[in-house]
Chain A
Amino acid sequence: MEGPLTGIRVIDLSQYIAGPYCGRMMAGFGADVIKVEPPDGDPIRRWGPFPGSVPGPETSAFHLYLNQGKRSVTLDIETEDGRALLRELLDTADVLIESFPPGMLAGLGLGYEQLAEEFPGLLYVSVTPFGQTGPYAQYHAWEITTYALSGLMYITGEPDREPLKNGGYLGQYGAGQNAYIATLAGLWERAVSGLGQHVDVSVFEHATSVLEMTDMAYIYAGKVYPRSGNGARAAWGIYPCADGFVGVVSGPLRRWANIATLMEEPVLADDRYQQAGSQSELRDEIDALMLPWLITHEKEEIYQKAQALGLPFGYVATPADLFKNEQLQYRGFFHEIDHPVAGPLRYPSIAAHFSDGLWESQRAPLLGEHTNEVVTSLGHDEASRARLSAAGAFGAATHDVSATSGGAR
């Protein structure tokens, strides 16, 4: 399928989550994304979840998701021949995505300034924890580090307990989401100027930028914002139900009476509760009136019935719940894709319907699956490939690139 990014070639040197997520989106919209991996693979291949919890480089759920639609080429860029091949690839490319510690690629002669003259049209996208400059540039970070520094963690959790990290890797995904926007904006401008540039994306700055308004509370009024747990507002927050948890959202208050209707508890419609609104003093009383109904009903039923009454309830959806939801089924959100090692699995697709289509879900590549075809396409015949292989450009000499299957793409 001809996609909006068809004709754009991306060399994706990035590892783990943020950079690869950006590359995944580009691939799904049609770009030719060549994932250049070290000989032992992107380390994300060693993170699970794995089928039956048995690790394997081709079956990491992270890898299968984040590298969808890409081609995989293994190169040892610590070797001169590996670097030479990377330059050959960059000569054919529009975008480079990388996530190495600042200065590392420059140490290999592959920094932005070093490449800019040779490849003036190249958009060089770096996605790192703290960006390329500033006092923390060389600091190490995992998800919890940038999350803590951003201010997001301090406001998550109970006031009398330790700050709580949000589950998953939202800072990483968010940085990747921003890298995608920034890369496409760079391509938009490049179409006019013909010039590439360095795009410096920071996970820390992304995470700080999503602080809802606590930064403004300090900037405008000097207020230090505490954690507030699941909230002190009455009838607003996470409540238990028969099969998990639901999100009771009692606003807008003009619909308050509908909560009494929903929960078959006329007392809840009482004026004093209605006027209580977001006041916390009546929280316990209101909870006592709501809980008997909530814990005897299931989340999907509560959600559907509440919404039918115009109440913006939600529920705490687990992955199992997501597959059962009729709206997600109606929209065809999950795409089943087969994979030669991991087998058929349902993957999240894209969060929008485009009137022109545009998105295509494809599987992740096997490690080095496309080394042979890509290197051949650069004009290296069998003898040349054998020489590069013997020189260690693809990693240990035992890695027989000529025998690598081309695979189906």
Chain B
Amino acid sequence: MPLRPGQRGPLTDLVVLDCSMVWAGPYCTKLLGDLGATIIKVEANRQLDSIRGPAIPPPSSSAISLYANNDPGDDPWNRNGYFNKYNRNKLGVCMNILMPEGRAVFMELAAIADVVVENFGGGVFERMGFGYDVLRDVNEDLIFVSMPPSGNGGPEAKYVGYGVAIEQLGGIVARTGYRGDDTPMKTGINYGDPIAGMHTAGYIMTALLHRRKTGRGQYIDLSQREATINWIGESVIGYQMTGHDPGWIGNRDEYMAPSGVYRCIGDDAWIALAIGTDAEWRGLCTAIARDDLLTDYPTYERRALHHDAIDAAISAWAAQQDADHAMTILQQHGVAAGVCSDNRRVVHDPHLAARGFWPEVQHSSAGPHILAGEAWQYSRTQAAIYAAAPALGEHTDYVLREILGKSAEAIERLHEAGVLENTPESILQQRSQLGTA
């Protein structure tokens, strides 16, 4: 049974205790929450999830555009778009789990959870006293997930890694770069994180199905680096066959010609396309009224050999086109063309709009806003984005009352003891220095 109104999807009977921060872990629990699971995110007011941003942002922060309406407001930690994107559908509990009373509440949550996810890395969570062995004592069939950069155990177990380094270590960057350049290029995002998050969500489902069969829980020790390598598997195998590193080839493609982006009318507007079949090639030549190219370069081999000349022909045509119009014309001719969308266009993309990809939520501080959906739709148990990300500690009392069944008095005692605190400690300190606490 779902624990909150609005929860829909195939996983509404699952409870995940989420002790992860930043991107990889929250990405994983976002996926499970969007599938209907109850995600209880436990945060500490002593150390905010760093993607909430600093509790006191520097006055001329260049990251101001991450805040709702460009305004950090009085509670910037609740208004950061980065956090609010990845933590929707989650219940937010803020408490000090290092205090004995906080620890006790945490253990009660661990006892009712199906899954615990942490991404502290380097055994930090274990040293805080919350290792798998400890939690298993209160929940025998628990699935416990640890997702450090390179796995627990081994010579690099304690290494630290941000997504920017993981995408390099995982082999993606060695394949990314402009053709002919001597330096590779980072991707536009920190790719290691979502890759690790997606792997972990799938492994959790695997372990849950295993538990249903065997009754046994599981310890899952994920390596973010290995997850990334899984997405270049063919390169790793291919290297053994050819003996050479595939390197980077820009917007060209090993199996298609032509392939590239072509500038259109407007500021930084581009159309991307690739030709994978002879039928597509015929369509392209017709669309750009260059049947001579069809005669000159009828085969993939010929097209690959004369790629520059073909690029010049497509560029001359594209330069006279609006990018969206070009996509429509090319697709009508069976060409796999797409506008190179900036973030504004993708938010307004007509296909995504028609698919309901950007549902609206109501956030307690940031107000109403839309959020990116997921890659899947179900015909019967449609999943849903039904709630905005929690403000810090927004659901602390709710979870203690509705899920753990604590009395109002017991919750009040925990507040008085300082176990539950919904304001960042740095703000409390600042206020006390100003005498306004």
Contact = CB atoms under 8 A, between A and B. Distances in A.
Partners in one complex: yes
B85 A213 contact: yes
A197 B379 contact: yes
B351 A148 contact: no
A335 to B, nearest CB: 11
A316 B168 contact: yes
B320 interface: no
B81 A217 contact: yes
Most chain B C-beta atoms within 10 Å of own C-beta, residue among A5, A149, A217, A315? A149
A205 B202 contact: no
B341 A150 contact: yes
A62 B234 contact: yes
B233 interface: yes
B355 A354 contact: no
B223 A210 contact: no
A124 B196 CA distance: 26
B187 A166 contact: yes
Most chain B C-beta atoms within 10 Å of own C-beta, residue among A66, A164, A214? A164
A140 B331 contact: yes
A400 B407 CA distance: 74
Most chain B C-beta atoms within 10 Å of own C-beta, residue among A175, A230, A322? A322
A224 interface: yes
B20 to A, nearest CB: 15
Most chain B C-beta atoms within 10 Å of own C-beta, residue among A51, A205, A346? A205
A154 interface: yes
Interface string B138-157: 00000000000011011110
B226 A328 contact: yes
Given A163-B270, A178-B375, A191-B212, A184 B205 contact: yes
A237 interface: yes
Contacts of A188: 10-11, 205, 208-209, 212
Interface stretch (A70-78, A306-314, A367-375, A380-388): A306-314
Most chain B C-beta atoms within 10 Å of own C-beta, residue among A66, A203, A310, A356? A356
B217 to A, nearest CB: 8
Interface string B156-197: 100111101110111111111110000111111111001110
Given A134-B351, A221-B64, A348-B229, A47 B176 contact: no
B245 A161 contact: no
Interface in A54-90: 59, 61-62, 64-66
A23 B92 CA distance: 35
Contact of A247 (B165, B171, B331, B336): B165
B273 to A, nearest CB: 7
A108 interface: no
A226 to B, nearest CB: 8
Contact of A205 (B161, B210, B375): B375
A165 B273 CA distance: 11
Interface in A331-378: 331, 333-334, 342, 345-356, 358
A145 B238 contact: no
Interface string A311-327: 11111111110100011
Contacts of A210: 189, 191, 194
Contact of B183 (A134, A181, A191, A238): A238
A154 B261 CA distance: 10
A216 B85 contact: yes
Given A139-B331, A220-B69, A50 B172 contact: no
Contact of A217 (B270, B343, B370, B374): B343
Interface of A: 3-5, 25, 29, 47-53, 59, 61-62, 64-66, 112, 130-136, 139-158, 161-170, 173-175, 177-182, 184-189, 191-192, 195, 197-206, 208-221, 223-225, 227, 229-231, 236-238, 240, 245, 247, 249, 251, 307, 310-320, 322, 326-328, 330-331, 333-334, 342, 345-356, 358
A150 B346 contact: yes
Contacts of B150: 327
Contact of B162 (A59, A249, A349): A249
Contact of A65 (B220, B237, B347): B237
Given A168-B172, A215-B343, A4 B226 contact: no
Nearest to B213: A4
Report the contact-size class of chain B (Cβ under 8 Å from the partner).
Answer: 35 or more
25 contacts: A4-B213, A5-B209, A135-B351, A136-B331, A145-B273, A145-B274, A150-B346, A155-B188, A163-B340, A165-B176, A182-B375, A186-B378, A214-B188, A227-B188, A230-B185, A245-B183, A247-B173, A251-B162, A314-B161, A319-B174, A327-B154, A346-B236, A350-B226, A351-B196, A354-B218
Contacts of A216: 66, 81-82, 84-85
Contacts of B183: 230, 238, 240, 245
A302 B280 CA distance: 47
B253 interface: yes
B282 to A, nearest CB: 13
List the 6 closest A-B pairs by CB distance, nearest first: A167-B175, A314-B165, A49-B238, A216-B81, A155-B188, A189-B10
B77 interface: no
B366 interface: yes
A159 B314 CA distance: 22
B373 to A, nearest CB: 7
A173 B254 CA distance: 17
Given A149-B346, A209-B372, A320-B245, A351 B239 contact: no
B242 A318 contact: no
Contact of B199 (A145, A224, A334, A352): A352
